[in-house]
Structure 1
Amino acid sequence: MWSCSVPGAGFGIDTRLGAVETLLVHVIRRWHYEIETLRGHEVIGWRPIEELDHSEPESNQASGTAVAIRPGAYGQGLSGGLTKTQRETVRSILDDCSGIIRWGGDDRIPYEALFYLDAPPGTAAVRSATSPLGKAADKLRNWNRTPGLGAGASM
């Protein structure tokens, strides 16, 4: 785990580096610009496993493959914390991530603050550049390098 910056937001998060970092930073950045402005203490990446419920998706934070955005505002087990427009933006963010990132708001026990990698972090497929994770990260990296591509681009 390393601390990486969230461009344009003025803070960083602790997360697994590489493709996972690319996707999670994308989620945070779009939330920051399109849903609500965030401050650093409102986004939590890596956390020690002892602080987490091992049986819930939040345990992904211990592997650096999840972030909680404003967890105090969007509590576990509660839904309806986002407006219709905000939910539509979340869906757009998830589409950007090619199904690799899951939103806790879609879980059996909702947790609207949580976004996490929807694949086991230790598998070879996750680490492969040709895996769905690698392809999704490459797409986002290309958007970041190319003006007029990605979120906010108009055709």
Structure 2
Amino acid sequence: MTVNISRRTALRRAAFVAASAAVGSQALSAPAHAAVRAPDPAALRERIAEAQARNKRVLSGVPSKNGWEMEKLADDRGSVYTRPVPGTPLDGVRMRMGDVETVLVHVISRFHYEIDALRAGEVTGWEAPGSVRKGLTESNLASGTAVRIRPGSYPPGVRGGYFPLQELVVRDILADCEGVVRWGGDDRKPDESLFSIDVSPGDGRLKSTAAKIRGWNHTPGLGAGRPVDPAQPQRRRAADRLAARQA
């Protein structure tokens, strides 16, 4: 899955957003009875220049394997920031904010509660584009759409790092995410520590899955940490169907 993103397109997009924001802010600040005035041209040019400089600094113009644009920096006015994982001792994981964050945090949380308790430093997220191999699933790390859970325990190229019951839970977590997450253990060259978003930007499945998870998180007794039996026949069938589809 690839998406071509030119730098010119990114800069034009940023300029349009900056111009729209400037017009909108003027409209909101004006009195109700006053006519809306056009934004100051000099201020507008300054905002556009700031947006272009930010894009040049942060955006790579290159998609990761799942189609999301890789970003050169994290925690610096881009889409990728260090995000908390509630209920765990993790110091935070760098990932793309929004629906991607909701889904990946759910994956990490269920791992922590149902497979093995995580310790600080055992989950990594975003990596710079130059440190990942383009065209491979690991490139999703550079777009903030993937995480590695205990990479030291599950080295790339090695299968069988999980006990059977643990892998059963992994499959159940993937089924929870309705196919929008792929496990690196299913890749031709396995990376059992890697979990990444498996849909492109704008795919409605990500939005609906994230909304479902947020609903669980706001309902006592649901969400990560609730008692789950991954061997329950209905759940097992759903997990097996997804595994066959993602193989």
Query: Please, what TM-score do these two structures have when normalized by structure 2?
Result: 0.57
* Aligned position for 1:117: 197
Identity %: 50
Report the Cα distance in structure 2 between the residues aligned to 1:5 and 1:50, rounded to whole angstroms: 25
Match in the other structure for 1:98: 178
Provide the secondary structure at the position in 1 that maps to 2:121: helix
1:133 aligns with 2:213: no
Q: Secondary structure at the match of 1:6?
A: coil
Letter of the 2:218 partner, please give it: R
More helix by share: 2
Rg larger in 1 or in 2? Answer: 2
Specify the SS of the correspondent of 1:40: coil
Q: How does 1:33-44 map to 2 (within 5 A)?
A: 33-44=113-124
Take 2:127 and 2:157, find their aligned partners in 1: how far apart are those partners? 20
Alignment partners' CA distance in 2, 1:40 and 1:54: 28
Residue 41 of structure 1 aligns to a residue whose secondary structure is coil
Query: Would you say 1:71 and 2:151 are equivalent positions?
Result: yes
The aligned counterpart of 1:145 is 218
Equivalent residue, structure 2, for 1:9: 88
Between 1:22-31 and 1:144-153, the stretch displaced more is 144-153
Question: Is contact 2:88-2:118 (8 Å) kept?
Answer: yes
TM-aligned CA deviation for residue 153 of structure 1: 4.4
Q: Which amino acid aligns with 2:187?
A: D
Cα deviation per residue 1:20-48 (whole Å; 9 max; x = unaligned)? 00000001011111111112311011010
Runs of 4+ with deviation above 2 angstroms? 148-154
With over 3 angstroms needed to count, the CA separation of the structure-2 counterparts of 1:4 and 1:55, relative to structure 1, is same
Can you list the C-alpha shifts for 1:38-87, whole angstroms capped at 9, x where unaligned? 12311011010111121320110000000000111101111000000000
User: How many residues end up aligned between the 2 structures?
Assistant: 148
In the alignment, structure 2 segments of 5+ residues that lack a partner are: 1-79, 229-247
* Aligned residues: CA RMSD: 1.5
- For 2:94 and 2:120, how far apart are their aligned partners in 1? 11
Q: Which has the higher contact order (CA 8 A, sep 6+)?
A: 1
